[in-house]
Amino acid sequence: MSNFLPNALVKKLGVNPLFDKDAFIKVHEEGIRATAIRLNPNKLEECPFDSKGKVPWCKAAYYLQDRPVFTLDPLFHAGAYYPQDASSMFIDHIIQCLKLNLHAVRALDLCGAPGGKSTLLNSSLHPDSLLVANEIIKTRVTILQDNLMKWGNANTVTTNNDPAAFNRLPGYFDLMVVDAPCSGSGMFRKDADAIEEWSEANVKLCSERQQRILAESLKALKEGGYLFYSTCSYSSEENEDIIDWLLDSGDFESVDITVEDNWGIDHTFSMKHRGHGYRFYPHKLGGEGFFIAVLKKVGEQETFNRKRIKPEKSDVPKGILNDWISNSDSLHTFLHHEDVYVFPKIYENDLKYLQNVLYLKNAGTNVGKLNRKELIPSHALALSNYLVEYKAVDLSLEDARNYLRKENICVDTSFADGIQGWAIARFQGQRLGWMKVLSNRINNYYPKELRIVNL
């Protein structure tokens, strides 16, 4: 038996005669973890690092030879990729299997921070979809908002609400992703504190909390909609037993997802209803511990009154975005205090529905601040996929890091090649933020709250 893994957990997993207990213990004792990234398809086409190969269940993801210091990589701050455990990327494969990438859907990531699954959904779903990314913990919702901002799409809404708030939108979402808070045994290699905090009592507590989260939010899922339920736990009480609990209601049916044999994913079944589940073990594949199941809502679900709301006249001066935003005809513009935002026009009514029942942290893309009739561009605009081709200054790695530290770039502005005024700071073709090139200096407009410290 392992000297540091909880004996109660290992013993329970070992009840399954197909479970390789020795290999499971060995991979945790060795502590060697796979590093993977998922590319932002709107910004990057090729892996920027030495790759060990593609993640087989996610089309734009790669295993890396070595783990870089992502904090010091300008491409990370540009939103060109997202470092994510490969097991969690299985959601991309599920979306392809269910063909949710072929038509627009309204999706909710209920427990969204820090943003790995939200950015994955934003890339994998049909581009005309609406994504609501929620996080109940106020200190974590800002991280979620920042990661979606770096991803660069305007079809997202970030919210800070208790799961129960979403029951005020009955039958609204086509897809709900619930990556539920759990006892964390799947993260033992990644987080030593998870081992110290694990106990059978905590597993029971987490199972009860997961049931509460689901019970208080599932009215928001429409009839015929899909629930993706996942945890980073190995305990059946938080996984297959929750699936049985959902199937007990009669409102759901289990969905089987095709999995290739050579992927190393365990296809499991719940004890009572034989509901499908998918387990990821680090001794069998390149990823951490993970569980996911897909259920389809078949029970009747009332839908809230989607009355058409009369469009409000925009306070944004006409034509002010012409020099900044492409495809502006497809975007709804609105003013929040002095800040101009853009949001998909097809979801203008939806934004009102959401505002009426939820606390919104952010909606769409903040384009900039209105100063009289001039627009002062925002950092979100610099990283947005809607920004027009704008004059840019290409930086070396050293200058790019100095820019991200919000330090002075260079007193000698000759490398800016005659550019004056607002310009994009760019590294290897990726936008980092704004600078203002003057005759004798360059003003660095990288946000103070995002600046990196020198490691």
- Could you list the active site residues? 232
Angle, helices 200-215 vs 240-248, to 10°: value is 30
Count of CB atoms within 10 A of residue 396's CB?
11
DSSP state of 325: B
Q: Tokens 């799947």 belong to which residue?
A: 186
Chain length of the chain: 455
Strands 106-109 and 173-179: parallel
Find the Cα–Cα–Cα–Cα dihedral 187, 188, 192, 195, rounded to 10°. Answer: 110
Distance of alpha carbon 34 from alpha carbon 283, whole angstroms: 11
Q: Which residues pair with 63 in a beta bridge?
A: 36, 53
Distance of alpha carbon 238 from alpha carbon 234, whole angstroms: 8
Which of helix, strand or coil describes residue 329?
helix
- Whether 162 has a binding-site annotation, put simply, is yes
C-alpha to C-alpha distances, 360 to 32, 192, 381, 438, nearest whole angstrom: 40, 34, 19, 38
Which of helix, strand or coil describes residue 343?
strand
Residues of the binding site for S-adenosyl-L-methionine: 135, 162, 179
Residues of the binding site: 135, 162, 179
